[in-house]
Amino acid sequence: MRIAIVDYDAGNIRSVERGLAFVGRPGRITSDPGEIEAADAIVLPGVGAFEACMRHVAPLVDVLRERIDAGIPFLGICLGMQMLYEASEEGGLVEGLGIVPGRVTRFDGSLKVPHMGWNSLDVRRDHPLLKDIPGGSFVYFVHSYRAGVDGNTVASTDYGGAFTAIAANDAGNAVGTQFHPEKSGIIGLRMLKNFAAMI
């Protein structure tokens, strides 16, 4: 089993690597398109600004889209989830990977940002990522932008209104978490194990 953890100069890569290793599914940090193309699954972590991260990931966009279209499991974490969408308003209007329809927008100006802390999940539909994870489970968020709730929402949470906490493409193989599973205790580790089981 080869899990590629995409390295594109964004933060939080090592904690994702440690989380996968802890559940017995070690990943390999790489920015090599050939390694990503050969992987059985791909993880796209992300901490930072949307525009800068899309610029850094630009050389890998084609191989990421091709592998997702081929049906291999893909997990986007935090900004990695937002990058699955068509666009984000962070840094102007910046094009994303276009795997999930919709646009990422900033939280309402009356809310304190970043939204930071533990929120519970409202599960809206089944997905393998949530196997043996009860609705209402708490996970850890740190972000200032969010995606609205729509047909691609697997689970939502609430901060000044409902927003997407987990999104998936129509095929279900590409899934993203707005929260950090690698920082969400036993629930998050269970999700990483469930992701590996999708291979």
Residues labelled as active-site residues? 78, 180, 182
Reduced to 3 states (helix: H, G, I; strand: E, B; else coil), residue 76 is strand
> What residue has token string 């129509």?
170
Q: How far apart are CA 79 and CA 22, in angstroms?
A: 23
Please, are residues 89 and 105 in contact by the beta-carbon 8 Å criterion? yes
With b meaning 16 or more CB within 10 Å and e meaning fewer, what string describes 115-147?
beeebebebbeebebbeebeeebbbbbebebbb
Reduced to 3 states (helix: H, G, I; strand: E, B; else coil), residue 14 is helix
User: 136: which 2 tokens?
Assistant: 């209402």
> What residue has token string 């972000």?
143
Can you name the residues that pair with 29 across neighbouring β-strands? 5
